[in-house]
Amino acid sequence: MARSLHVLLVYVVTHLGLIFFMYPEDIIASADEGHWVPILTGFAFHFAFLWIYMKGLSRGGGKDLTSLYLELGKVAAALLLLPVFVYFLMVNIITIRSYSEIITIVFLSNTPLWAIMLLLFLIPAWMASLGIRTIFRATFLVAAVCLPLVLFIFVSSFQNVDWRYVYPLLDKHYTFWNRISFYKSFFAYAGSFLFLGFVQPYFSYRIRTVLWTAVGILPLFLFSVYVPLLTFGESTASTFFFPYVVTLDMIQINWLMFERITVFFLMSLIIFVMLFVSLVLWQSSQIVGRFWPKAKTNWIIGGLFVVIFAGCLTVRSWNEVERLFIWNTWIRWYVLIVVPLTVYALGRRAERDAGGDRYAAGR
């Protein structure tokens, strides 16, 4: 049960680090009204393929994602895992570069961006080199300290809402299907669930508990968007760079000794993001290690560190960050759709093979 709790905490923490920054801006830009429709649509999509993914893993006899693919042969496995590996690299580049920009805006306006990116990446790289158990233990400690604070500030963010802004409830034309910002919002889902296919040899979990945990964080997806909308209105909230962060600056709690609670909220989320980066980096090293078994994990992570950090340095403006979001949309669909479906198919195949072996042994 304790190991299952670790898995659930990692699932929650990695999503929290991605929900409150860029997700609200993308959803607000995707619809002029009835924003709950694109939110629930995206979540239903994620929930369905999350179930398919975990069901395939459970039928695969406890094997991890890479082992299931390797049953098809090294060439086929390499072709199937190459998009996942590339996506992991792009996720780390985008995450480190974009969150460094946020740190520059909020905290360290005079610090060179490269130095912030280096600091934001060094700690996750060190954690990844220590292994998945270290990442999970760190997540448990961070969650114990930061989650109560994040939830307190989240509840406090309702201080200035005007519930009349919730209307109109429906977008009669469903324009979000035609807007790229809606598809960019899936960044909050893709990559945050794949770790479930890499940790099975180390940590166990129940499908039902993960699905209930996913349902439990649905209100965070909803209100990360609706708190800015209910505070400023759609026409004003749509002009903000980070709508939820701007909303937090409006909070006033007289009995607190700290003037800006936004700082504590952002620091907690940045720690969550660093855990997410370390997890993605560790998964990347696991893929490389299975195809290059003689290489030491630390050397693999060191090489990935150089490649990813060099990629971060080549992204010179926020417009280029936005362009990367758009470029990796197609590979994001591969991670969200193709990977769960192939894992499910391979899991069923492994289950059939195991059943056939038992039948032959019985005879």
**Which pLDDT band, with edges at 50, 70 and 90, does 52 fall under?**
very high
SS3 126: helix
**Which pLDDT band, with edges at 50, 70 and 90, does 152 fall under?**
confident
Q: What is the model's pLDDT at position 355?
A: 55
Domain ranges of the chain: 2-362
Instruction: Give, for 340, the enclosing helix (H) or strand (E).
Output: helix 339-362
Q: What percent of the chain has pLDDT over 70?
A: 93
pLDDT digits (tens, 9 = 90+) for 135-148: 888 988 888 888 88
Q: What is the model's pLDDT at position 349?
A: 82
pLDDT digits (tens, 9 = 90+) for 183-214: 888 888 887 888 888 887 777 788 888 899 99
CA–CA–CA angle 15, 229, 274 (5° rounding) = 25
pLDDT digits (tens, 9 = 90+) for 262-283: 777 888 888 888 999 999 999 9
Cβ atoms of 53 and 343 within 8 Å: the answer is yes
Q: Who's near 337: CB < 8 A, 6+ residues apart?
A: 49
Cβ atoms of 302 and 54 within 8 Å: the answer is no
Q: In angstroms, rounded to a whole number, what is the distance separating the alpha carbons of residues 300 and 316?
A: 26
pLDDT digits (tens, 9 = 90+) for 95-142: 898 888 888 877 777 788 888 889 889 999 999 888 888 888 898 888
Q: Who's near 335: CB < 8 A, 6+ residues apart?
A: 83, 84, 87, 190, 191, 194
Q: What is the model's pLDDT at position 360?
A: 42
Most confidently predicted of 123-127, 150-154, 254-258: 123-127
Q: What is the model's pLDDT at position 212?
A: 92
- Residue 190 burial class via C-beta count within 10 angstroms: exposed 0-12, middle 13-18, buried 19 and up: buried
**Is residue 354 predicted with pLDDT exceeding 80?**
no
Give me 234's structure tokens. 């759609």
Q: What is the model's pLDDT at position 359?
A: 36
Q: What is the model's pLDDT at position 256?
A: 61
Q: Mean of the pLDDT values across residues 58-70?
A: 83
CA atoms within 13 A on the CB side of 198: 27
Q: In angstroms, rounded to a whole number, what is the distance separating the alpha carbons of residues 241 and 282?
A: 31
Domain with residues 2-362, CATH architecture = Up-down Bundle (1.20)
Q: Tell me which residue has tokens 């959803």.
A: 27
**Is residue 290 predicted with pLDDT exceeding 70?**
yes
Note the pTM of the prediction, 2 decimals: 0.89
Q: What is the model's pLDDT at position 231?
A: 86
